[in-house]
Each structure stands twice: as C-alpha cells, then as structure tokens.
Amino acid sequence: MFHHPVPRDARVYIAGHGGLVGSALWRYFESVGFTNLVGRRSKELDLRDRESVRAFFDEARPQYVIDAAAKVGGIFANSTYPAEFLSDNLRIQTNLLDSAHEFGVERFLFLGSSCIYPKFAPQPIREDSLLTGPLEETNDAYAIAKIAGVMQVQAIRRQYGRSYISAMPTNLYGPGDNFEIPGAHVMPMVMRRMHESLNGKTFTIYGSGTPKREFLHTDDLARACLVLLERYDDPAPINIGVGEDVTIDELVAMIAEVVGYEGSFEHDTSKPDGTPRKVLNVDRIKALGWEPTVSLRDGIASVYEWFLEHQATFRR
C-alpha cells in the first residue's frame, strides 16, 4: 500500500480556503499540527487569471496542494449560469494544475464532485461508472468541467509521472455553507426557508420529495483528504461519501425536528427534482482506513447552530 506521511511543517496550499470545504480543511489541518498552511482569498488572487496563479506559485512554492476552489451552487444556479460554471471551473483547475506541475508541487489533490457520474449510473455509484452514460441536465456544465479536471490529473500523471490524485465527494454540508437564496444547495436552502417560516402553517418542498441524496459533513471530508494525500496514489478518482442516503422528504423532516418547525408540508412539483438517486460506493476509501464520524442528525444540528450565529450576514 502507498504510504507517504505529509510532514507537519510542509507548505500546504489550500486553494479556496475561505469556502465551505477549504475552511474545513484549514481547521482540520491546523488541529493536527500543520504549521505552514498557505491560503489566498479570491480578492487577493483570482484563480481564473493564469499569470496571477503562476506568479503566486513562483512566490509561495507550495509542496502540497488541495484544490477546494470552485464555482459551486445548487440546481437553480447550475441551470441558470451554465456558461460561468463551465468556464470559471475549467480555468481555475487548469491554472492550478499547470502551475503545480511547472513549479514542482509534490502532491496535488483535485476535488471534484459526485455529479460527474451519469444520471442513471447503477447505485451505489462506483468510480468506474465515469463516462458510461449521459449526465444530469441541470448541472452538466459543472460536471463536464470537473470531468476535465479528472482527465487533466490523469494526463499529468501519464505524461510527467506526477503523483497527483483526484477525489469525488458526495453532497457536502457544514459550517460556513452558502445560505443565499437563490443559489444555495438543498440543505442550507431548506434550513433557511424553514427557519424563516417557523410561524407558518405550511412549508413548500421543492420537487416531489422522492429523490434520494447522500450528505457528508465537511469535517469528515477534511479527514479523508489527509488520508488520501498520505495513502492513495492511483490515476482513478476515488469516492468520498457515507454510502447511505435519505429522501428529500426525510431530510426535510430531520431539519424540521432540529429547527422546531411544527407546520405541515406540501410539494411544488413544478420545481425540478434532479437526479432520482445518488449515493456513492465508498469501499475503496474505507479500505484505506477512513470512516465518516458525523451522523446526519448531529451534523444538521451543528450547521443550524452556525446558521443562528451568522444569519444577520445573509442577504434578504
């Protein structure tokens, strides 16, 4: 088995360290003793600008890179702005990977998304389902960009022998999530709408409520990323998830319990459902010794606590 301990004083660049995933990575890596983390806010470094990224790598000379930088959003954002989701993400990851190779980065972890898999892939979805069928139409532009990232990692490995890897997380949630409406993913969107409807008699669930989704807390993802940097070296992408899913109706009921909503529910079936089911096969990462530790109920409660502390900062 591949074994490559990452020195705790290594220069580790977390691209997108201010976002949902990047901030969890930063918290976790600090907590386990990393002393030389590198990060730049988007106002300091536009990752879409090739020369700016090259100049940053030339100056900072990171030894390890985790690419948690991306333009992300829920069904509404993906289906409304497909051109930006494709163009921005292609530029971000291409610039990072090209500069990493040019300036001798030892290990690069590219984080993609489970939306790279076909809409009707056999469940739970194995990594070898990639490119075996058509994508979900509501986020195909984002998915194509992330597939290109996987292909670039493989191409750099094949052509230059770099030890770069890619991982595909399932649906993520955690402190610092995006609660802006429209644009948020399903969990923060439902949580905010429900909190703001606490005195209402009926809560509207967008879509049929029957699609099934898997949710992974970002603290568990951060732990997985260090495991992969130290124990995984393969051209194939590797899934990160919990291997279990819930229906949207079940998720809404769980959020209602945490938030304290006691009204009734109705469905607006004019809203899109997206992929009918999406749960990942996580046998390969579990074989490396990683297991998720945060239960969905506890994770929702922790995110709601964060939401209550920060709700004044969200746009109305």
State the amino acid at position 239 in one-letter form. Answer: N
Counting the structural domains of the chain, the total is 1
Nearest Cα residue to 112 out of 139, 76, 138, 142: 142
Whether 121 is covered by a domain: the verdict is: yes
H/E run at residue 213: strand 212-213
**pLDDT score recorded for residue 69:** 96
Whether 181 is covered by a domain: the verdict is: no
Q: Is 177 exposed, middle or buried (0-12, 13-18, 19+ CB in 10 A)?
A: buried
Q: Which domain holds residue 85?
A: 12-175+214-243+279-293
Per residue of the chain (316 residues), what is the pLDDT tens digit? Answer: 799 999 999 999 999 999 999 999 999 999 999 999 999 999 999 999 999 999 999 999 999 999 999 877 666 766 787 898 899 999 999 999 999 999 999 999 999 999 999 999 999 999 999 999 999 888 899 999 999 999 999 999 999 999 999 999 999 999 999 898 777 789 999 999 999 988 888 999 999 999 999 999 999 999 999 999 999 999 999 999 999 999 999 999 999 999 999 999 999 999 988 778 889 999 999 999 999 999 999 999 999 999 999 988 876 5
Measured from the Cβ of residue 144, the count of other Cβ atoms closer than 10 Å reads 18
Q: Is 267 exposed, middle or buried (0-12, 13-18, 19+ CB in 10 A)?
A: middle
CATH number at residue 75: 3.40.50.720
Whether 305 is covered by a domain: the verdict is: no
Q: How far apart are CA 15 and CA 239, in angstroms?
A: 20
Whether 158 is covered by a domain: the verdict is: yes
Whether 184 is covered by a domain: the verdict is: no
Q: Would you say 125 and 279 are in contact if contact means Cβ atoms under 8 Å apart?
A: yes
- Which phi and psi angles does 301 have, rounded to 5°? -60, -40
What is the number of H-type helices and E-type strands within the chain? Answer: 10, 13
Annotated catalytic residues are 142
Q: How far apart are CA 93 and CA 83, in angstroms?
A: 16
pTM value?
0.93
Which residue is it, tokens 């898999």? 117
Q: How far apart are CA 81 and CA 92, in angstroms?
A: 17
Whether 249 is covered by a domain: the verdict is: no
Nearest Cα residue to 64 out of 95, 38, 26: 38
Whether 307 is covered by a domain: the verdict is: no
**Binding site for substrate: what residues are annotated?**
193, 213, 273
CB within 8 A of 260, min separation 6: which ones? 198
**Binding site for NADP(+): what residues are annotated?**
16-22, 111-114, 146, 169-172, 185
Q: What is the arrangement of strands in the sheet containing 212-213, beginning at the earlier edge strand?
A: 246-247, 212-213, 277-278
**Binding site: what residues are annotated?**
16-22, 111-114, 146, 169-172, 185, 193, 213, 273
Q: How far apart are CA 161 and CA 163, in angstroms?
A: 6
**pLDDT score recorded for residue 74:** 67
Which residue is it, tokens 């690069």? 108
- Which phi and psi angles does 147 have, rounded to 5°? -60, -40
Whether 199 is covered by a domain: the verdict is: no
> Exposed e or buried b for every residue in 42-67, given b needs 16+ CB within 10 A?
eeebebbeeebbeebbeeeebbbbbb
